[in-house]
A and B are shown apart, each in its own frame.
Chain A
Amino acid sequence: MSYQAEISRASPTAILMVVDQSTSMSQRLSGGQSKAAFLADVLNKTLYTIITSCSKADGVRDYFHVGVVAYSGENARNGFAGKLAGEPLHVVSRLAEAPLRVETRTRKVAGANGDVVEQSVRFPVWFEPKSHGKTSMCAGLGAAIDIIQQWCAAHPSAFPPTVLHVTDGHPSDGNPESAADRLKTLATHDGGCLLFNLHVDAGEGEPLIFPNDERAVRDRFGKALFRMSSLLPPHAVEAAARKGYDVRPGARGFVYNAGIEAIADFFDIGTRPAVAADR
């Protein structure tokens, strides 16, 4: 059985986000923000949640190695800037020390009588939205292969790495399927690298969440993203079911046509090894 390894400080796992920063990511979602800006918010919140889940009385425990690859134009690059720009992956405690800045955000929360109250919250930012250039997806996945290959070699018995790839469009640098296949063959003794794909859309269509049949996807490139996605392992199936999703046998870690809700849920479910850690 794969995906059984305990996640601990001695045997951490890796989470790598691969983010499309092409021009089309500047389109607005129905919520008002651009895809890129909302995605950056969700990503930053996810990083903060990971840190929180690793925070114990004795400090932040390094259960995870976390990285962000951003791609657009002709190439891919580290999605972190500042002090974190030097290395592709960082332990959680390092991440906790080095946000780019901490913003004060006004967050809407549900009040007592179903009304909405605004709350001021501290919001650490590690990753900034950008959207310029073509969709160099092969370059992005290629960068992920290099990072994950090294990581697996250094952590042969760990829980396998999870790669969360977010895009809104068609690759401009060739067919990404072989890179995705290569990424999924990278493995630890505990199983293959997990590749989950999130397709973001600004439109009105309902999202297709964790489909188990390629034929459910209308678009040719959407079908390719389906094939590129790993089967959902048990921990992710459980997390998805708890959120009320009907996950069928053979469901892939793939969401097509995601609006804001599906984007937030994708990150939440995709980073779920977070709760498996030794507490």
Chain B
Amino acid sequence: MPYQAEISRDNPTCFLFVIDQSGSMDEITETGRSKAAFVADVLNKTLYTLVTSCSKSDGVRNYFDIGVLAYGGTAVASGFGGVLSDGIVHPIHAISEHTLRIEERKKKVDDGAGGIIELTTKFPIWFDPKSAGGTPMRAALNKTMETVTDWCDAHAGSYPPTILHVTDGQSTDGAPEEMADGLRKLSTKDGPVLLFNLHVTTNGGAETVFPTSESDLADEYSRMLFRMSSPLPAHLAKFASDKGYTIADGSRGFIFNGDPQCIVDFFEIGTRPKLVADR
């Protein structure tokens, strides 16, 4: 059975976020912010959640290696800034120590008696939104493949890497499908690499969430993204189903036309590790 490896400091797993920063990501979503800004917020929050889940009394334990690859225009590069920008994947302890900055965000919460109170919370930033140029998806997935190949070589016994790919558009440097196929063939002893794809949109219309067949999808491009996506392993399928999504045998880790809530859930489901040992 794949996806059974315990995640520990000796056997960490890897989450790699591959983020489209092409020009169209500047379109405004129903949250009132651009797709790029909303995705950046969700990614920063996800990183913070991952850091928190590794924080124990003795510090941040390296259960995870975390990478961000950003692509737009002709560039495919580390999505991290500052000290972290010289590499793509870093142990979570390094992530926790090198935020770009910490913002203060206002958040309105339930005051406990039918009212609202505004709280100020600290919001660490690792990743800033950008949106310019074309969509070099093929180059991005090629770079992802190199990165993941190296990681798998170094961690043969680990729970395999999970790649969360976020895009809003069509590749401008050729068909990315063969790269995705290559990526999903990479593996550790615990199973093949997981590639989940999220298509974000501003155009309204119905979303397709965790579909089981390409015939659920209207256009050639969305069908390709479906084929590029791994089936959800059992523990993630269960988690998605607990969140209220309809999951069937063969549901793929793919959301088409995702609204803001879908984007948040995609990140949450995709980064849900199976089993973390030595807590």
B31 A204 Cβ-Cβ under 8 A:
yes
Is A42 on the interface with B (CB-CB < 8 A)?
yes
B31 A31 Cβ-Cβ under 8 A:
no
B115 A205 Cβ-Cβ under 8 A:
no
Residues on A with C-beta less than 8 A from B117 are: 108-110, 116
Assembly CA distance A42 to B115 (angstroms): 7
The smallest beta-carbon distance between B41 and chain A, in angstroms, is 10
Residues on B with C-beta less than 8 A from A83 are: none
Is A41 on the interface with B (CB-CB < 8 A)?
yes
A108 and B120 in contact, given A204-B264, A205-B30, A206-B31 (Cβ under 8 angstroms): no
Is A114 on the interface with B (CB-CB < 8 A)?
yes
Assembly CA distance A110 to B108 (angstroms): 12
Number of A-B residue pairs, CB cutoff 8 Å, is 68
Residues on A with C-beta less than 8 A from B260 are: 203-205
Interface string of A13-33 (1 = CB under 8 A from B): 000000000000001010111
Q: How many residues of B contact A (CB 8 A)?
A: 23
Contact of B110 among A31, A121, A204, A206 (CB under 8 A): A31
Interface string of B99-118 (1 = CB under 8 A from A): 00000000011111111111
Nearest-neighbor residue (CB-CB) of B119 within chain A = A116
A107 B261 Cβ-Cβ under 8 A:
no
A261 B114 Cβ-Cβ under 8 A:
no
Residues on A with C-beta less than 8 A from B31 are: 204-206
B261 A205 Cβ-Cβ under 8 A:
yes
Residues on B with C-beta less than 8 A from A41 are: 110, 113-114
A260 and B110 in contact, given A116-B117, A203-B260, A205-B259 (Cβ under 8 angstroms): yes
19 contacts between A and B (CB under 8 A): A32-B110, A33-B110, A41-B114, A44-B114, A45-B114, A46-B114, A108-B111, A108-B112, A108-B117, A109-B111, A110-B118, A114-B120, A203-B260, A204-B264, A205-B31, A218-B30, A218-B204, A261-B108, A264-B116
Residues on B with C-beta less than 8 A from A33 are: 110
Contact of B116 among A105, A202, A203, A260 (CB under 8 A): A260
The smallest beta-carbon distance between A222 and chain B, in angstroms, is 11
Would you list which residues of chain B between 203 and 259 have a CB under 8 Å from chain A?
A: 204, 244, 259
Is A123 on the interface with B (CB-CB < 8 A)?
yes
Residues on A with C-beta less than 8 A from B112 are: 105-108
B115 A107 Cβ-Cβ under 8 A:
yes
A107 and B111 in contact, given A114-B120, A204-B261, A205-B259 (Cβ under 8 angstroms): yes
The smallest beta-carbon distance between A106 and chain B, in angstroms, is 5
Is B59 on the interface with A (CB-CB < 8 A)?
no
Is B82 on the interface with A (CB-CB < 8 A)?
no
Assembly CA distance A206 to B109 (angstroms): 15
Is A38 on the interface with B (CB-CB < 8 A)?
yes
Interface string of B32-49 (1 = CB under 8 A from A): 100000000000000000
Residues on B with C-beta less than 8 A from A110 are: 117-118
| With A43-B114, A206-B31 already in contact, 6 other A-B pairs whose C-beta atoms are closer than 8 Å | A29-B110, A38-B110, A41-B113, A107-B111, A107-B115, A260-B108
Interface string of A31-57 (1 = CB under 8 A from B): 111000010011111100000000000
